[in-house]
């Protein structure tokens, strides 16, 4: 009699685990979609007021790093409380505000709005492609994490260095690498949710949002540079 009972309880636990994973993934997608609203609002405020354009490249980088890491620390502290979602949305507004410098520069070019829509569409295609792959791939991707983290740090350091070097070739190289690295990060983060390794949807949303942000920013930088060179 014990064997059928054990089998039934084991099956129930497996179903509950799958339900939990699906719930986290569903909440992640919903919060990710919601986070686009304050991002767009922040970008609009930045372009309209010119607040980020008034900063020099060095000051802009300092404000960005201080604000981003400060918000990420706050999100980590509040992710298990009711304050987690508002803090995350505040972070996405800040990120949109900091993106407005690049958006304003691209909008100043011919067909600037079209370039922004192209970058947005490209980012969407990458996201849906990585989301589909995360459902198809069965192997464990946890070993990717350390390599992606190292790549991210290298891109960050190179990007900071290029603030002073001002090399167009280096900027393009960094952007191409960033698209590859952060596209892989989207796959990695979504796979962790599907495998039950990430059970907090706020943390999951933060990871995927940062990857999407960097992919979009890199695509827009490449398109903007290519358009200005024509």
Closest CA to 206 of 222, 185, 224: 185
**Cα-based distances in Å from 171 to 9, 36, 67, 89, 176:** 56, 26, 23, 29, 9
Q: pTM, whole model, 2 decimals?
A: 0.89
Q: What CA–CA distances, in Å, run from 9 to 15, 21, 22, 82, 205? A: 10, 19, 20, 33, 32
Average pLDDT over residues 110-125: 94
Distance CA(144)–CA(167), nearest Å, equals 30
SS3 for 10-74, per residue? HHHHHHHHHHHHHHHHHHHHHHHHHHHHHHHHHHHHHHHHCCCCCCCHHHHHHHHHHHHHHHHHH
Instruction: Give the model's pLDDT for residue 179.
Output: 96
Note whether 215 and 123 are within 8 A (CB).
Answer: yes
Q: Give the C-alpha distances (Å, rounded to integers) separating 139 from 78, 88, 180.
A: 32, 31, 20
Of 179, 173, 174, 202, nearest to 125 by C-alpha is 179
pLDDT tens for 5-52 read 333 333 444 433 888 888 999 999 999 999 999 999 999 999 999 888
* pLDDT tens digits along 170-209: 999 999 999 999 999 999 999 999 988 899 999 999 999 9
- State yes or no: pLDDT of 99 exceeds 90: yes
């Amino acid at each position: 009699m014990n064997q059928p009972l054990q089998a039934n309880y084991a099956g129930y636990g497996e179903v509950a685990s799958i339900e939990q994973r699906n719930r986290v993934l569903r909440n992640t997608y919903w919060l990710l979609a919601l986070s686009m609203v304050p991002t767009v609002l922040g970008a609009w405020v930045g372009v309209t007021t010119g607040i980020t354009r008034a900063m020099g490249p060095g000051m802009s980088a300092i404000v960005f790093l201080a604000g981003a890491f400060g918000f990420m620390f706050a999100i980590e502290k509040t992710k298990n409380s009711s304050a987690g979602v508002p803090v995350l949305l505040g972070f996405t507004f800040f990120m949109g505000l900091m993106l407005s410098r690049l958006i304003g520069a691209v909008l100043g070019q011919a067909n600037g709005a079209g370039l922004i829509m192209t970058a947005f569409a490209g980012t969407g295609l990458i996201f849906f492609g990585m989301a589909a792959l995360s459902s198809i791939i069965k192997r464990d991707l946890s070993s990717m994490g350390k390599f992606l983290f190292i790549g991210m740090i290298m891109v960050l350091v190179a990007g900071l260095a290029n603030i002073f070097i001002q090399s167009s070739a280096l900027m393009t190289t960094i952007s191409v690498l960033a698209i590859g690295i952060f596209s892989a990060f989207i796959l990695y983060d979504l796979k962790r949710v599907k495998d039950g390794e990430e059970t907090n949807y706020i943390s999951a949303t933060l990871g995927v949002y940062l990857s999407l942000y960097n992919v979009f920013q890199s695509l827009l930088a490449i398109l903007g540079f290519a358009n200005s060179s024509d």
